[in-house]
Structure 1
Amino acid sequence: MSRIVKRTFPLTALACLISTPVAAQQSGPQNIEEVIVTAQKREQSIADVPMTISSLDGETLDTLGVDRFDSLSDLVPGLVVQQQSVNNNGYVIRGITSDDGSAPGAARVSVYLNGTDVSRSRASYFEVYDMERIEVVKGPQATLFGTAASIGAMSFITAKPQREFASELSVGAGDYGMREVEGMVTGGGEIVQGRLALVSRERDGTVENTSDEADLNGYERTAYRPSLRIAPSDDLTIDLVYNYDKAEDPGTAFVNESVLFTDNASLSVPDNDVLGMDDIGVDRTVKDFNATVSWDINDSLALTYIGAHRDYDSLEAFDADGTRYEFLNFSEDASGDQSSHELRLNFSGDRVNGFVGASYFQEEAAQFVGFASEEGLFLSCSGALPGVEGCEPNATAALTGGAVSALPYEGYYENRADNNNLNLFADVSYQATDKLEATVGVRLMEEERESSYRSNMPASTILASQGIDSNLFNGLILDTADESISGDTDGSPVLPRFNLLYALNDSLNAYGTVSRGERAEVIEMSSGVESIVPAEEIDNYEIGLKGRLMDTPLDYSVALFYQNYDNFQVNVIDEESGQARTENAGSATNTGIEADLRWNASEKLTLMANAAWIDAGIDDDATNGSYAGNQFRLQPELTGAVSYLYETPINSGLLFTSSGSWSYRSSVYFDIANRFEEDAVDLLKLRAGIAASDRNWSLDLAASNLLDKEYIMDAGNTGNSFGFPTYIEGAPRTVSLEFNKRFGAL
């Protein structure tokens, strides 16, 4: 334990939510448990990590009802999680969005599962259950988490097997046909212990769909996780974990503005051969295996190996025009195979702590986008038929003199990527004095990226009859006649970080950080000619305080940051073809301040609050083109939340428990062009129930979006390119009743 850890025990706000019941804190704030995190690849007090980090343990996640990624937005300042569907997630840290689903694109946020990078957006989502803790780290963290952490990282650590027998079962039911079962069992002997956790969640769609297909924006998911811990000696531990996630959701409702928040949505896709399914919906399977070997060589040296393999296949079909017409019908079949290996040597001493290591990551990814329509309908809806205004279902019959009533049209495009990178990294902390600790780290990379593109967009029969040899998109989507074109690039970035941590007194630490991040080059092939979008480079500067207000049970942290971007990469949808691509928007800056606190107001009540103010966007410089001066997509200027945990005895055997949160975000734009904006949104969540005094069982009534606020999650989307912008509704008020029973020692 470093000298600074011995001197200071301040905790950051929400990060310091403790796992013991509030009522058990009989002796006051001095008994608050120290929060331990592993963001720097070793166990440390969270107060002694010289960067902004939040940590939520499994008990806290359960108490607050956090079982989805987007729920973390309420608890972590500067974090926004947008989930259009299980297949399409957007992670926003400090105003910067990571949501590129293309195979050649690179993530900006590292999502780690048990020490392994799973950041590919179509596979980065998994069910949140039976967790040991979640850590969210902000700012470029390439030294610790690789290049995907160009703006931050989210690390999920699952609960480990234990020797003592224990089990837990939770069941729940609610409105919109909500049904949920979650459970786990663990136990074993001195050398081998096992754990099995599983969850099944289902809810009908909340957007009524008047077509023959199911209501939309619901979910149907199943996941299970067997894990094994083998400890042949006190110095050697082997953890084997398998994760299986399956989603068969009814799909996302991209609705026209005219039917937003009504019961008049009528969305469907036609019978087809290219979309992969004849209904709007999601069919997604993710399989993951992780092996971690930890060997304590002696009191000063420890060797860790982490190997993992992950494969995913995520198919989603959607009606992109948001109307009753089967005009824009798309699907995306994203698949991939990832393998990684990391070997790390940790060393520790009286003044020096750190690690050196190497890792290798290999990935093959593909994104197949299918398109289905009817020629006459498509041409009339897109305004390509003179004298015809709006969508005309009988256009084909009129143009062929009644000879043909419909001309189905199908096409596709596909991009593939083969990415490989070798990493060498080192990180060393030196405690110069009892008060001052300095950290220097660096990651060296050798990265190779290959990308290919192929498509098949056949000529339009109707356009051919008018002497026009073109596909329905007038050639704006390249047709390679099913032939692949390819390109490649490589890079050798050097990504350093420098940190200082200073103990101002026994209850207050100050820190400063300088770090560099990089988002890899993108090979853009959709034009038919290899185009390299240069690597996005980020310089990050940050100062902060972590401490306790004198001798009171009030813990807080404050961070001020400035980030400068070169070659800021933006993902846009082409205004004419509807095809997604990556562009270089030039330079950008990001300035902000974040704060959070936690106050143990009494033995019964704990209050938490967080806030973040961010001023970010593309620099208002003419050299930055059409996006100059624009605000980032999904970036609110102000976010904040207030939460509480309350517990009081009813009698000697029963407790009354309650928790809740109120969250706020200011207005946001849903596109980098800043055409679609939504006003500020605030949401309220509440839970209340009874529990046995020993926590053996509990019964809770929970409500999300309690005031039933109407808000949207996204706007514009693919349909906007054809004059049919669409909107995705946020979830309405949902209510559920949950029962939990525990057996054995947890």
Structure 2
Amino acid sequence: MKKAAKRTFPVSLLSCLIAAAASPSVQAQAGDSQMLEEIIVTAQKREQSIVDVPLTISSLDRETLKDLGIDRFDSLSDMVPGLVVQQQSVNNNGYVIRGITSDDGSAPGAARVSVYLNGTDVSRSRASYFEVYDMERIEVVKGPQSTLFGTAASIGAMSFITAKPQREFASALTVGGGDYAMRKIEGMVTGGGETLQGRLAFVSRERDGYIENTSGEADLNGYERFAYRPSLRIAPNESLTIDLVYNYDKAEDPGTAFVNEAFLFTDDAALSVPDNDVLGMDDIGVDRTVKDFNATVSWELSDSLALTYIGAQREYDSLEAFDADGTGYEMLNFSEEATGDQSSHELRLNFSGERINGFVGASYFQEEAEQFVGFASEEGLFLSCAGALALAGIESCNGDATALLTGGLVSALPYESYYANGADNSSLNLFADVSYLITPELEATVGARLIEEERESSYRSALPPSAILAAQGINSDLFFGLALNTQGETIAGDTDNSALLPRFNLLYTLNDSANLYGTVSRGERAQVIDMASGVESIIPAEEITNYEFGLKGRLSDTALDYSLAVFYQDYENFQVNVVDQDSGQIRTENAGSATNTGIEADLRWSATENLMLLANAAYIDAGIDDDTNNGTYAGNQFRLQPEFTGALSYIYEMPINAALLFTSSGSWSYRSSVYFDIENRFEEDAVDLLNLRAGIAASDRNWTLNLAASNLLDEEYIMDAGNSGDAFGFPTYIQGAPRTLSLEFSKQFGAF
């Protein structure tokens, strides 16, 4: 479906929104307010009620996460309007906010979605995943948030705040098991004295793969993960608090099944990689380690001034090997090893008064990263599958091609090559944000972030000549010179960039239970230096202007919180990642201008004393503008961008007797059709999934027993299509998880 050159803002929706905001029926009800706890967030670097934040924001606290069984990144898609989390593997995550995807795994590439862990940017794609356990709160903020979270938040931010140590002793333990040999154990213990408290949390989870692999190697699309988090809180006096947190995440998953379309939803996948020297492992799988240390110092200088320092060091090493042709042939065998070292420092001064609140500060971020991609194949098989041996009378994908060409002297000629890209980036930021209460009803916020970036990118590759082609008098590698071969030498380029990214917000209090807000903000995705052609090619920075209008509050006579937002986003130099059809390498291109218009709604309703309902929905009309200046992708829909998303969830409990409760929760989620590539060649129809939990608990909730089902109706769906194999005529597909069942028992001790 082609898009108009420029989309218009939905004026009719705005009119309805303004009419709803002005309605006198929206009034505070003291009795109802006691039925819903106030949601406190820190998106604006200070504690605020979510209703008083002039941004589109969703927040999930510890109890909601626990009641709904949310313990994975992709589960968040069910709870946040306009958010889709795609997880091919722990090594490859895609975050989609308002139809825009952030999933670039190359070292020079920049993220679009800021993933924050305890106030620190951990957005680098191959290190942005971590186990979701023992969380205090998760906040998701939509729209460009560069002023608050830096350039990586060009379309939004996901902020994870881990649970802090406490003085009172408390501990918890969860054990579980299920089908596909699922095993889980999760726990925490905390306690301490007046000046020193500690906390230790951990999780170990395993599940065999649900893609039966007939090659003799492990079944695929399973997981084996272990993580632990020790933390200390030092409070020498009432005004000074020091939080020290260490995170360790380890994954040794059996790997991702990229299968040919013919093998989807069958038990006929035969995927493997050969013994080799370049891939880093001889089996399909993932070996990933992430280590993270965070120090936060909070010093209350006075009743109106507070100084905060956040420093972090993060290291990751993530290796994944995969069969990219999706067949039983060992033709396209790849691995990716992503390594990185990040350090960051932020110093911020918060100030507050009767009419003014805000902060000023500075931050510095530095990273070194490399993406090493290995390739292993067999020469005769590869050339025959590529059709290069047809004139010699050898049929496509003939496993005996090498033997036929050498008269039986050699049965196989292993071939190995690689390419690698690296990055050395640094960023110095100065930022300020001020909110001023103009009248008792009207508050204005002005903020800006000045960014000075230095980016250096490098490239190296080694593609040895083909012995079979050499015997035919052709001096070439298997790719016929279509991929750059630096013969192991490194080439590099660098660039500097500066930007001033402002935001302006207005918050108008209609009455005690409803606020109206408007936002104009600017965002930027950093420049990309592409060296894969052998010369320095700079993809210009992606620039975003965001206009937003929203209403949030509590409905009269009902314990129902709501938020409604309408937005319009204008993009220049929209960056897209495509697979090069000659070399199979992923490169970044400038697709030109793009626009994005949509509406989002979020509801939380305490329907009865025993029943909580949560619902969200989003409509998005987005894509590359249908303008001839935008070239090949003009009029195309974004990758992974559904037009409609929605979800309905519930949390229910009912006393059985004085000692026991019946508990249940569930969620139904829906997304409309999506394309898996910017070329709009691979499409999947709408998908809806149902998850349910039911169990019993002690009346004081100190123990629970739950039976859980994910994808209860066993819907068949795919998570991705095309992939690296598509460049060689072998598009592959990643199958979504089938119905899975599990039983969990949790026990708590001490004060919570």
Contact 2:460–2:486 (CA<8 Å) still a contact in 1?
A: yes
C-alpha separation in 2, matches of 1:673 and 1:347: 49
Alignment of 1:518 onto 2:520 = no
**Structure 2 partner of 1:428:** 434
Alignment of 1:582 onto 2:622 = no
Render the CA deviation track for 1:203-237: whole Å, top value 9, x for unaligned: 00000000121000000000000000000000000
Q: Give the SS at the match of 1:594.
A: strand
**Structure 2 partner of 1:188:** 192
**Structure 2 partner of 1:143:** 147
**Structure 1 partner of 2:376:** 372
C-alpha separation in 2, matches of 1:343 and 1:598: 36
**Structure 2 partner of 1:457:** 463
Contact 1:29–1:600 (CA<8 Å) still a contact in 2?
A: no
Shift of 1:76: 0.1
C-alpha separation in 2, matches of 1:736 and 1:466: 59
Q: Give the SS at the match of 2:262.
A: helix
Alignment of 1:399 onto 2:405 = yes
Determine which of 82, 90, 95 is the counterpart of 2:94: 90
C-alpha separation in 2, matches of 1:220 and 1:464: 44
**Structure 2 partner of 1:23:** none
Alignment of 1:540-689 (within 5 A): 540-689=546-695
**Structure 1 partner of 2:133:** 129
Shift of 1:181: 0.1
Alignment of 1:42 onto 2:46 = yes
Q: Give the SS at the match of 1:467.
A: coil
- AA aligned to 2:86 is Q
Shift of 1:27: 6.3
Q: Give the SS at the match of 2:407.
A: coil
Alignment of 1:523-538 (within 5 A): 523-538=529-544
**Structure 2 partner of 1:333:** 337
Contact 2:108–2:421 (CA<8 Å) still a contact in 1?
A: yes
Render the CA deviation track for 1:547-585: whole Å, top value 9, x for unaligned: 222231122110000000000000111112111000000
Alignment of 1:58 onto 2:42 = no
Q: Give the SS at the match of 1:252.
A: coil
C-alpha separation in 2, matches of 1:665 and 1:576: 33
C-alpha separation in 2, matches of 1:452 and 1:318: 24
Shift of 1:390: 2.1
- AA aligned to 2:343 is S
C-alpha separation in 1, matches of 2:118 and 2:395: 56
- AA aligned to 2:125 is S
Alignment of 1:357 onto 2:377 = no
Q: Give the SS at the match of 1:59.
A: helix
Structure 1 portions without partners, runs of 5+: 1-9, 11-25
Q: Give the SS at the match of 1:724.
A: coil
Contact 1:452–1:486 (CA<8 Å) still a contact in 2?
A: yes
Shift of 1:29: 3.9
- AA aligned to 2:552 is K
Contact 1:556–1:596 (CA<8 Å) still a contact in 2?
A: yes
**Structure 2 partner of 1:720:** 726
**Structure 2 partner of 1:13:** none
Alignment of 1:95-174 (within 5 A): 95-174=99-178
**Structure 2 partner of 1:345:** 349
Q: Give the SS at the match of 2:212.
A: coil
- AA aligned to 1:345 is L
Shift of 1:457: 0.4
**Structure 2 partner of 1:318:** 322
Shift of 1:28: 4.7
Q: Evaluate the alpha carbon distance shift between residue 72 and residue 213 of structure 1 in structure 2; reply closer, same or farther with a 3 A threshold.
A: same
Shift of 1:598: 1.6
Alignment of 1:539 onto 2:545 = yes
Contact 2:403–2:412 (CA<8 Å) still a contact in 1?
A: yes
Alignment of 1:693 onto 2:699 = yes
Render the CA deviation track for 1:698-722: whole Å, top value 9, x for unaligned: 0000000000000000000011111
C-alpha separation in 2, matches of 1:715 and 1:237: 48
Contact 1:290–1:306 (CA<8 Å) still a contact in 2?
A: yes
TM-score (norm 2): 0.95
Render the CA deviation track for 1:246-280: whole Å, top value 9, x for unaligned: 00000000000011000000000000000000000
Shift of 1:608: 1.2
Alignment of 1:261 onto 2:265 = yes
Alignment of 1:745 onto 2:751 = yes
Shift of 1:401: 1.3
Contact 2:601–2:617 (CA<8 Å) still a contact in 1?
A: yes
Contact 1:34–1:45 (CA<8 Å) still a contact in 2?
A: yes
C-alpha separation in 2, matches of 1:106 and 1:290: 22
C-alpha separation in 2, matches of 1:242 and 1:731: 31
Q: Give the SS at the match of 2:677.
A: coil
**Structure 2 partner of 1:68:** 72
C-alpha separation in 2, matches of 1:711 and 1:51: 33
**Structure 2 partner of 1:16:** none
**Structure 1 partner of 2:250:** 246
Q: Give the SS at the match of 1:492.
A: strand
Alignment of 1:504 onto 2:539 = no
**What percent of counterpart residues are identical?**
82
**Structure 2 partner of 1:477:** 483
**Structure 1 partner of 2:8:** none
Q: Give the SS at the match of 2:125.
A: coil
Single out whichever of 497-506 and 92-101 deviates more from structure 2: 497-506
Contact 2:32–2:558 (CA<8 Å) still a contact in 1?
A: no
Alignment of 1:734 onto 2:702 = no
- AA aligned to 1:133 is R
Determine which of 449, 453, 459 is the counterpart of 1:443: 449
Shift of 1:469: 1.1
**Structure 2 partner of 1:211:** 215
C-alpha separation in 2, matches of 1:438 and 1:363: 36
Contact 2:35–2:606 (CA<8 Å) still a contact in 1?
A: no
Contact 2:453–2:498 (CA<8 Å) still a contact in 1?
A: yes
CA RMSD of aligned residues (A): 1.1
Render the CA deviation track for 1:278-334: whole Å, top value 9, x for unaligned: 000000000000000000000000000000000000000000000000000000000
C-alpha separation in 1, matches of 2:45 and 2:607: 34
Shift of 1:31: 4.2
C-alpha separation in 1, matches of 2:483 and 2:224: 34
Runs of 4+ aligned structure 1 residues displaced above 6 Å come to: none
Shift of 1:506: 1.7
Render the CA deviation track for 1:350-369: whole Å, top value 9, x for unaligned: 00000000000000000000
C-alpha separation in 2, matches of 1:29 and 1:47: 13
- AA aligned to 1:196 is L
- AA aligned to 2:703 is W
Shift of 1:388: 3.0
C-alpha separation in 2, matches of 1:458 and 1:445: 42
- AA aligned to 1:498 is F
Render the CA deviation track for 1:180-205: whole Å, top value 9, x for unaligned: 00000000000000000000000000
Q: Give the SS at the match of 2:489.
A: coil
Contact 2:92–2:126 (CA<8 Å) still a contact in 1?
A: yes
Contact 1:28–1:603 (CA<8 Å) still a contact in 2?
A: no
- AA aligned to 1:415 is N
**Structure 2 partner of 1:227:** 231
C-alpha separation in 2, matches of 1:511 and 1:341: 32
C-alpha separation in 1, matches of 2:192 and 2:150: 36
